[in-house]
Amino acid sequence: MARPMVVVHGGAGAWRGLDVDIGVVARVLRDAVSVGLDVARSGDCIDMVVEVIAFLEDSGLFNAGVGSVLDYSGGVSMDAGLMDSSGRAGAVAAVTYPRNPIRLARIVMERTPHIIMAGVKADELASRLGLERHPGPHPRALERWRSLKSRVPESAWIAKRVEAARALGYDTVGAVVVDSRGCLAAGSSTGGVALKLPGRVGDSCIPGAGFYANDRVAVSATGIGETIIMSMSSLRVAQFYEAIGVLRVAVERVVEEHTRRWGPGTLGLIALSHRGEVEASYNTEAMPWAYASLGEEPRVGGLPQG
């Protein structure tokens, strides 16, 4: 029997200029870990990762679910995905209907023959199956959108969008877990990059990029989605871990490799191995994260300084 564990993150970045109490962020991350460990008493790894991420989506503190940032036109669209060590995966992209995109991703995994469903038809599926509807832009996200939009010239929006993403971070939530049977699972959920073009899809719905799990390791990524997709960062961790056998080295090597190629401010990773190794690494100023095993008090790291 394995000892259930949960690791979560709240997004890599600088966490500057955000109207968020970092003490509250730390508390919510601890609570998310506790939620997952409570689920572990009667549920499996998929139950754990879904409930942890849904809790973070509902918090409104993070750029996922209720707290999702707005695109350039002022709309909310979300991506989410999950995978377990048996090779099952499911994801949704550019959805607007569900309050909890991670719950719809689970439905795609368990009740359809597909891996990713996107846009209007995925929203229709969520509606038909009675998932709770997204309440619309969070007041904090709306105020942030107004502020960013007022500072971004139409002709230079792409450069400014990337600049804003690097400076603020706050772009994804994710979790990696192991249950009592040794099943590993990973998942991610996001509202995307602030001021993105409507229709943009990031890494959080792409297995191997925003999340990955096999029978040895589970990984969740956060950062600039375009660079994570091009690097397949979560899969790279699994590949290095297979070759090296030391999770810390595997995670740090992927971050170093990513930084050389794409520069700083682009990637954060959390990872959990079948041996219970827990690692986190990032090339941003901060990446709030937390972890614990069943019976332990959650510990928090990666908080912004100053």
Q: Where are the domains of the chain?
A: 5-301
Q: Which of 96, 172, 227, 284 is catalytic?
A: 172
As given in the structure block, the two tokens for residue 224 are 């600039």
Q: Exposure string (b/e) for 247-285, b if CB count within 10 Å is 16 or more? A: bbebbbbbbeebeeebeebbbbbbbbbbeebbbbbbbbb
Cα within 13 Å of Cα(282), Cβ side: 29
DSSP state of 65: G
Q: Which residue has the tokens 């699994």?
A: 238
Nearest to 5 by CA among 278, 301, 295, 293: 293
pTM for this one?
0.92
172 is catalytic: yes
Using an 8 Å Cβ cutoff, are 198 and 217 in contact?
A: no
- At 151 the pLDDT is 63
- At 8 the pLDDT is 98
Q: Given CA atoms 85, 267, 6, 1 in this order, what sign does their dihedral have? A: positive
Distance of CA 156 to the CA centre of its chain: 28
Q: DSSP string covering 274-287, please?
A: TT--EEEEESSSB-
- At 155 the pLDDT is 43
Single-letter code of the amino acid located at 304: P
Assigned architecture for domain 5-301: 4-Layer Sandwich (3.60)
Tens of pLDDT along the chain (306 residues)? 789 999 999 999 888 766 778 999 999 999 999 999 999 999 999 999 999 999 999 999 999 999 998 888 888 999 999 999 999 999 999 999 999 999 999 999 999 999 999 999 999 999 999 999 998 877 777 777 576 666 655 444 445 555 554 444 446 899 999 999 999 999 999 998 887 888 999 999 999 999 999 999 999 999 999 999 999 999 999 999 999 999 999 999 999 999 999 999 999 999 999 999 999 999 999 999 999 999 999 999 999 886
Q: Which residue has the tokens 């409570």?
A: 38
Residue 273 phi/psi, 5-degree rounding, is -100, 170
